[in-house]
Amino acid sequence: MGYARLSPDGRTVAFVSPVAGIPQVFVMLSSGGEPLQLTHDEGEKVVESFAPDGSEIYYGREVGRDEVWAIPTLGGTASRLAPGRALVPSVDGNSMLYLKINSQEIYQTKKGSLGEERVYRFDNPPRFPLSILPFPDGENLLVATTKQLDDAAEIQLHKVGIRGQNAGEIASLSGFPRDLSWLKPGRTLLLSRSVNGLTNIWSYDLADHAFTQITFGPGPDFRPMPYANGKDILYVNGKGSGFLTVYQVRGKSSTDIAFENTSQPAISRDGKLVMFIKYLGQNKTEL
């Protein structure tokens, strides 16, 4: 499961999973059950967001260029929305805000329109926007930016006015912060963050500039998705099982010989030793 998003009412989860090696968009109840495959076409896909009323799922599709498409949540024909990525609907649902690859700009398009307008450009100093979260007032955006797209160990948060085309820096966040969402709209963020090699879910208070750790353990924990009740959080745990197992052909039995997250086993010529890679955490492995 990748790029998971929770519907506004908290009842549905949209996500991406490979089918025959091609990422496809699925939807399922947040309470569990069988997923429904919504897309069947080529191209890399990323679930961006839901429509404000939950009737459609917005997803990014890459086939030569980045595009955002919409598909009915219960299945149907997809339609193209915008030439960009990281799309989110405005608070009133009448327009779409999005980014473009390798661009320093934020764009907006009216729903159902073929035109677009630039909302803001980060050129003084130059920075690249990574994600957008509309403030509940509908007039401002919370935009996360980085100096370099290939290094997002630290990001800056900006408050960008949609109409005034102005921006002010709010805070700097460290620890490879990602997957930002509102816990308390306009006040508190949820995000995935890495500290001491462990990736967990944290909250960040915009007024106090304070982090609070939400999940603990080895993780990695990604994509925090708060329920509408403001009390519960759904998130993706990326821990792999990675057991290394020996199967006895004659006895038709199996034995686990390594219980860590392992991969790439190689057997010695005499068959007595096995060499493998063990995953320890972010960017850490052992042989």
Residues in contact with 175: Cβ distance below 8 Å, sequence separation at least 6, in sequence order: 153, 193, 194, 195
Amino acid 276: pLDDT: 76
Amino acid 146: pLDDT: 94
Tokens standing for residue 208: 């106090």
The pLDDT-based confidence of 277 (bands split at 50, 70, 90) is confident
Amino acid 47: pLDDT: 94
pLDDT mean over 81-107: 92
Amino acid 177: pLDDT: 95
Please report, as a single letter, which amino acid is at residue 67.
Answer: E
What is residue 77's DSSP assignment? -
Which tens digits make up the pLDDT trace of 137-151? 999 999 999 998 888
Domain ranges of the chain: 1-82, 244-286
**CA quadruple 125, 126, 130, 136: dihedral sign:** positive
Kindly report the pTM of this predicted structure. Answer: 0.78
Distance CA 162, CA 176 (A): 27
Distance CA 5, CA 51 (A): 11
Amino acid 190: pLDDT: 94
Amino acid 112: pLDDT: 76
Distance CA 141, CA 159 (A): 6
Which tens digits make up the pLDDT trace of 227-265? 777 678 888 886 655 666 665 546 656 666 666 667 667
The pLDDT-based confidence of 280 (bands split at 50, 70, 90) is low
The pLDDT-based confidence of 103 (bands split at 50, 70, 90) is very high
Amino acid 65: pLDDT: 80
pLDDT mean over 58-80: 90
Which tens digits make up the pLDDT trace of 157-192? 999 999 877 889 999 999 999 999 999 999 999 999
Amino acid 246: pLDDT: 62
The pLDDT-based confidence of 272 (bands split at 50, 70, 90) is confident
Please report, as a single letter, which amino acid is at residue 182.
Answer: W
Which tens digits make up the pLDDT trace of 2-61? 889 999 998 999 999 988 888 999 999 988 888 999 999 998 899 999 999 999 999 999
